Structure 1
Amino acid sequence: MPANAPGTPRRQRHQDPPRTPQHQNGRHLSRDLRMQVHTLRSIGWTHKEIANKLKCSVSQVQYTLTGPVTPKKRKGRPGKLSEDRVDELVLFVTGSREGRRMTYLELSMYFSEWDVSDSAIRRALTKRGFRRCVALKKCPIRKLGQGIFWEKDWGKITSASYTSHVTPVIEGMMRLVWEEHGEVPIFQQDNAPSHTADATLADLAQRGRDFLGRW
């Protein structure tokens, strides 16, 4: 009889059996699941009910309820260098230019009695906040550095150079403020020798400038 003839029962599709919920491996659940475990337990759910609800094992629920919601940070493998040795290493590196310029391999060879690798030296220094970097190339420094323009053109600032180059600019600026804002600004200067010289004060008085007392 043909497979599709009338009255022929259709073949039912093969259905996979229901799968068992996949449990998380290990004793530690995620933080969200731990919060749900504690919450459900606080409202009276049993361990088995919580395990079925969250699809984890009963032992995981029991272990989660023995600790806080946020799991403690797991401790890794202890370092090969003790804190005293790391202190000695830091003191050596920061104590001299030669120590700072040594590579991790050279440091491990220098402290060969510790029997540690260069990677252990690097991890110990990195943990203390040290980083390797390439030093910036310094510009050549001359005995007499580049001076600013007034130092080259005017020379040392004295009362003569101050009244010749600076006070005319001050007077022009104060006049500009008066013309634009209608206010007379009050000038103040510090106690530099060129500012307090009698010739400077006389020049300011001749220009009719008011100024505050000295600093």
Structure 2
Amino acid sequence: MGTKHLTNDDRQRIRTLYFEGNKTKAEIHDIAVFSIDQIKTAIKAPSSNVAKRSGRARVLSREQEKELVSFVTSSKEGRRASFLQLSVILFQSLFGKPPISETNRQKRLARALEHKDWTPEQWARVLWTDDTWITGGHHRKQYVTRRLGEEWDPTCIIERYQRKHGWMFWGCFSGLGKGPGLFWEKDWGSITAETYRSHTIPIIHGWIQFCQQQLADQLVLMQDGAPAHSASDTILDLQERGIQIIQWPPYSPDLNPIEMCWN
């Protein structure tokens, strides 16, 4: 709303809230969704002094603008679409479905409620793990269209997809410090339950044992829901090694602090 042109009615509304409603500028900002600078200008200049705005007439009505905002904020496809793509999508009615289903949202909520009373000491005992692909060449940032306060909205979250070319690294850390890392050799092939159990789990097991022996602290493993991680053989292997797993909801890379390290 920072570039929105204020009409005489807009300015009069701001002045009424300020002088007669005894609202502060911050309160008016919350109520009317105008920027603080716009509010200051409206308070200083009476509405009768507002010059008529020059330039091209409005193309979209207020209702059409609301429909546009509703579409952009309803899915990740809408958030990431360029202006040209939005015009094509809107006028051809090609609406997409958000990949995060209501079921997955409920799982994320259940996890939050389950751990809302955890202490810093409990979180410090979580061994956060993840892997990432490093690719050569230029990398293009992915932008999303969002409003203030929407950074954690499911439609604003950018999912990561495994790349076919490059180098794969696995790493971990906890509140006790940085853990070991692993470079995935290409002759190991793709990450399957078998290769994950052969190369990664022994490192996890060794590090958890080390922390327990040297630091007298038992770590809890966090791993995402990749097929190799959630396979029955993998779960059985972890159980036999006495490794406790923290349950993880799908489509939730934003909840894993190690994601910030890869960036």
TM-score by length of 1: 0.32
Higher strand content, 1 or 2: 2
Highest RCO, 1 vs 2 (Cα 8 Å, sep ≥ 6): 2
Larger Rg computed on CA atoms? 1
TM-score by length of 2: 0.27
